[in-house]
Structure 1
Amino acid sequence: MRKLLAILVVVVPFLMTGCQAPAQRNAAQPVVKQMNVNGVSLTYLEQGQGVPVVFVHGAISDHRAWNYQRDAVARDYRFVALDQRYFGTGVWPTDGSKFSVATHIDDLAAFIRGLNAGPVHVVGWSYSGGIVLGLALRNPSLVRSIFVYEPGSLAALVTESADVETMKGESKGLAPVMTASKAGDVAGAVRQMLDWVGNQSGVFDTLAPPIRSMLMDNARTLPLMFAAPPPPPISCAALGGLKMPVAIAVGQSTRSYYKILSETANRCIPGSRLVVIPNARHLAPFENPSAFNDAVLAFLKQH
């Protein structure tokens, strides 16, 4: 069960609801670029100038997951959002055998070095939460600060028996996602995952068309996630050694699964800040982008 829960913590995290994107406010236009990283070409989007803030997307998504944050951040910073390996709309020439949290940590480190801009602020969400924290542990000189919303890939941190049992119980609702994915029905798996994350049926059909397109563009990654090796272990003691500023954010109305992960990670990092996003669940960057952006920007301005 522990192994299954670890897999689910990697797969489940992410997602979003279909609100309308904020109006364009920044005169600078976004630019899509490519960077060669560890033998592959990664797509990324940039907008704005100043200290870089690197946004790392979660599961079944890509750099478009951060479109609701882009303009707000690019007013004062160099907004950078990348497509991690195997994600996005490009054709990947490999069979996905290297899909793993470890691969994505290595790629992120090489990507930030390739920016050649010194240490950067890093923002993660869900699946990428463990990636961002893993990056900070392995390559602290690359990271100026960390803001993570409801981090995934950290099931090993949860040791309180009541919390472990709660997460096991909640994770049972993901069985249909795994079944559909293994059967090759990745589109159905995406829909069922959204139902679990949104805690109601039919969530996918309420999303804005661009969001639905992004989800289906990345549905092909679900089987890769289920087949991936466990993430590199991150201990509470290791997180306690982080020296850069860290904020762990959580939705006010999020389900217990994510609340436990977020609060546990926060307790492990002395001096970290637990930020509660009002009127939001796991989909805060889309459910309440104004409050989410305010929280990110307030943190960045202090560091």
Structure 2
Amino acid sequence: MVMVRTPDGVNLYAEEHGSGTPVLFIHEFAGDHRSWAPQVGALATRYRCITYSARGYPPSDVPEDPADYSQRHAVADAIAVLDALEVDRAHVVGLSMGGFCTLHLGLEHPERVRSMVVAACGWGSAPDRRSEFRAECEHLADSLRAEGMAKVAERYALGPTRVQLAGKDPLGWRRFAGQLAEHSAVGSANTQLSVQRERPPLYELADRLAGVDLPALVIAGDEDEGCLEPGLMLKRTLPRSGLLVLPKTGHTVNLEEPDAFNRAILEFLAAVEAGRWGRRDPRARGLSSTGLER
């Protein structure tokens, strides 16, 4: 393990396992560095796997001021981890909140990114649900402050896109829920208010994302309603992207279907490193199935 000091003085807890080409994992709101255990176990024999807990997630520091959290801070923190571990470029794997961070790394620091895996990403991006999404973030933050982390975690871990994990893997779900209950209520509330609520929705970034010339694999569960349409938008927008939709799967896709998730990542990374993950053929665009003009 290593403690990484960010430019603004926040300490981030990081771990690395294995050797080879670096892979940086960026966790979701309800996760932390431990959430990637199934992926580290599968990839560490071939890759240098780096995980860390975001600011606000112990054992990383938990700043009290919401102004110390933002999408900009999240991107800067990921770069700080890479710098501290002397990594010039890494494959980046992000889930949900971590998927947003991954995309912003591709936008702002493409020279540091070999490829992107963007999983379960897009919650709150639907244009017609923006106000409702912001209200949900505020309600969750208020609940965390009023009730504490353990109490809120009981309900959050059984939300509409989390029950799938409970049904498939009760032991794994208990581990997930237990780790969630250990999080900081202050850090989680600040993350909701300043990272989640204030981040730009994906659809507003579409023009910029169309210029990100990095290999990308987009992964979504078919029961993760808030991320299905954004996942399809990312596939249509990122010029070097592929889309994998896993059936009967919710938001915690890396824990629900670890074998399929790991296999997809390994195949994607192998294709990228062999130069076989190119841009979409422009002839593949359009709604016609025949290619015959009328």
What is the correspondence of 1:128-139 to structure 2 with a 5 Å cutoff? 128-139=98-109
1:74 aligned to which of 21, 44, 65: 44
Whether the 8 Å contact between 2:56 and 2:63 is mirrored in structure 1 is no
C-alpha distance in 2 between matches for 1:207 and 1:228? 32
1:123 to 2:93 alignment: yes
Asked if the contact 1:191/1:202 (under 8 Å) is kept, the reply is: no
Match of 1:110, SS state, is helix
Gaps of 5+ in 2: 273-294
Q: Distance in 1 between matches of 2:2 and 2:178?
A: 21
1:231: which partner in 2? 199
Q: Give the partner amino acid of 2:209.
A: L
Find the structure with the greater CA-based Rg: 2
Work out the CA distance in 2 between the residues paired with 1:93 and 1:173.
22
Change (3 A) 1:138 1:170: closer
Q: 1:61 maps to what in 2?
A: 31
Alpha-carbon shift at residue 98 of structure 1 (Å): 0.6
Name the SS of the counterpart of 1:54 in structure 2. strand
**C-alpha distance in structure 2 between counterparts of 1:147 and 1:65, whole Å:** 16
CA contact 2:124–2:226 (8 Å) conserved in 1: no
- 5+ residue gaps, structure 1, are 1-31
Larger deviation, residues 233-242 vs 189-198: 189-198
Please tell me whether the aligned partners of residues 13 and 59 of structure 2 are also in contact (alpha carbons under 8 angstroms).
no
Q: Which moved more, 1:284-293 or 1:192-201?
A: 192-201
In the alignment, the residues of structure 1 paired with residue 141 and residue 154 of structure 2 have an alpha-carbon distance, to the nearest angstrom, of 12
Q: How many residue pairs align between the two structures?
A: 264
Going from structure 1 to structure 2, the CA distance change for 1:106 and 1:273 (only over 3 Å counts) comes to same
**Identity within the alignment, %:** 26
> Is residue 220–residue 246 contact of structure 2 (8 Å, CA) maintained in 1?
yes
The CA distance in 1 between the partners of 2:205 and 2:61, in whole Å, is: 35
The 5 A counterparts of 1:130-169 are 130-152=100-122, 155=125, 158-159=126-127, 164=128
- The superposition leaves residues 82-137 of structure 1 with CA deviations (integer Å, 9 ceiling, x where unpaired) of 11111133553644431122111111122223322321100000011111111111
**Displacement after TM superposition at 1:173 (Å):** 8.4
Which residue of structure 1 aligns with residue 258 of structure 2?
A: 289
Q: Secondary structure at the match of 1:198?
A: coil
Matched residues in 2 for 1:238 and 1:201: separation?
Answer: 34
Instruction: Map 1:36-51 onto structure 2 (within 5 A).
Output: 36-38=5-7, 39-51=9-21
**Offset, 1:172:** 8.8
Cα distance, 1:187 vs structure 2:
2.6
Aligned CA distance change for structure 1 residues 297 and 256 (closer, same or farther; 3 Å): same
> Residue 196 of structure 1: SS of its match in structure 2?
coil
Residue 280 of structure 1 corresponds to 249
Selected match of 2:146 from 183, 190, 205: 183
C-alpha distance in structure 2 between counterparts of 1:71 and 1:193, whole Å: 27
Shift of 1:195: 2.2
CA RMSD of aligned residues (A): 3.1
Aligned-partner Cα distance in 2 for 1:48–1:199: 30
Q: Does the CA contact (< 8 Å) of 2:165 and 2:256 recur in 1?
A: no
Instruction: Label 1:97 to 1:176 Cα distance change in 2 as closer, same or farther (>3 A).
Output: closer
Deviates more, 1:45-54 or 1:146-155: 146-155
More displaced 10-residue stretch of structure 1: 289-298 or 81-90: 81-90
Q: 1:36 to 1:168 in 2, by over 3 A?
A: closer
1:217: which partner in 2? Answer: 182
Aligned-partner Cα distance in 2 for 1:217–1:194? 13
CA contact (8 A) 1:173 1:196 kept: no
Q: Indicate if the aligned counterparts of 2:210 and 2:238 stay in contact, CA closer than 8 A.
A: yes
| Distance of aligned partners of 1:271 and 1:115 in 2 relative to their CA distance in 1, 3 Å threshold | same
From 210, 223, 232, the equivalent of 1:254 is: 223
